[in-house]
Amino acid sequence: MMARYLSSLFLPAVLALASVAPVCAQTLADGQPDLEGVWDAASMTPLERPVELGKKEFYTPAEIVAYEKARAHELNRDRRDGSAEADLGRAYNDGWFDRGAHLASYRRTSRLVDPPNGRFPAMTPAAAKKYQEMHAWLVQHADDGPETRMLPDRCLVFSQSGPPFLPGNYNNYYQIVQAPGVVAILSEMGHQTRTIPVAHGTEERPHLPPSVRQWQGDSVGRWDGQTLVIETTNFGASDQSRFGVQYDGMSDENLHVTERLTRTGPNTIMYRATVVDPTVYTQPWTVEFPLEKTESPLYEYACHEGNYGLAGILSGARAKEKAAR
């Protein structure tokens, strides 16, 4: 199910910058801006900007051609030009991946747009210490049982489903459905649906009590002109990464995510999300990237029903322990 992907290689940089501005979008019967449809976030744009690019935000057309060629070679999992360990690390063959064949249409050098260097900010000293201790412990105990595995291994949290959305190697589709006072977003990865109550006018939609924690948090929406703004709090905290496999970062009970979805054209939504967690990060960080409309359907991702990998990991660990006795 390879995504049909749009790539605008020769648009001037000014158009790329202007693409985040809302357009006169169609509205639904109740007056909501129309965000409905299936949207594809796949692209070659990396989450973090390569260090050597510094504060360079956009590629030139010539740079895009060179980047896409080099990136396609780098990501090709059918290559057999490395060691046995490198071959094993490439995992499945390339036919299982749908990461996108082009740079995203806005031509940015990274999905992270703030901090200005396109890199994740530093952790606070306390969070960095906890993170290091956690990983040192996991070296010895990651296979003790299902509770010590990373959250994606347990089919609980995925980078793509968020929040925030962090597109990955496959399953980067989102289906948005709207009804009066509510927006539902179905993520293809994990087949997880967020049903988001949306405030109308000056009404307020309160969050759940702080004692109620969920892996995807508690999301409440509102309209800011043509932009859907989603505030999410009440995340379940874990010593394992809650951002999924795309970013092995940390969060805690103070995580707050603000997402903004703006229809910028008949076939494009600009997605922007800001992460604030003052006890973990020294400053907020923001990702931004386009969602491109597609006529392709979402497919079921039955993670729990087919999660043979976790059983294999744990049974392999028990067999290794038995052999060492």
Is the pTM above the cut of 0.85? yes
Measured over all CA atoms, what is the biggest interatomic distance in the chain, rounded to whole angstroms? 69
Per-residue pLDDT tens for 93-142? 777 788 888 889 889 999 999 999 999 999 999 999 999 999 899 889 99
- Of 247, 222, 231, the C-alpha closest to 112 is 247
Higher pLDDT, 98 or 253: 253
Q: What is the mean pLDDT of residues 249-266?
A: 95
Report percent pLDDT > 70 for the chain.
91
Cβ atoms 212, 218 nearer than 8 A: yes
- Of 2, 1, 4, the C-alpha closest to 267 is 4
Tokens of 167: 């597109």
User: Which residues, at least 6 apart from 37, have a Cβ–Cβ distance to it below 8 Å?
Assistant: 175, 176, 293
Q: How confident is the model at residue 198 (pLDDT cuts 50, 70, 90)?
A: very high
Report how far Cα 165 is from the mean position of its chain's Cα atoms.
3
DSSP assigned state of 147:
G
Contacts 24+ apart (CB under 8 A), 124-133: 124/278, 124/279, 124/280, 124/281, 124/282, 126/279, 127/250, 127/252, 127/279, 127/280, 127/281, 130/239, 130/250, 131/250
Strand-pair partners of 183: 178, 196
Per-residue pLDDT tens for 152-172? 888 888 999 999 999 988 999
Q: What is the mean pLDDT of residues 173-189?
A: 95
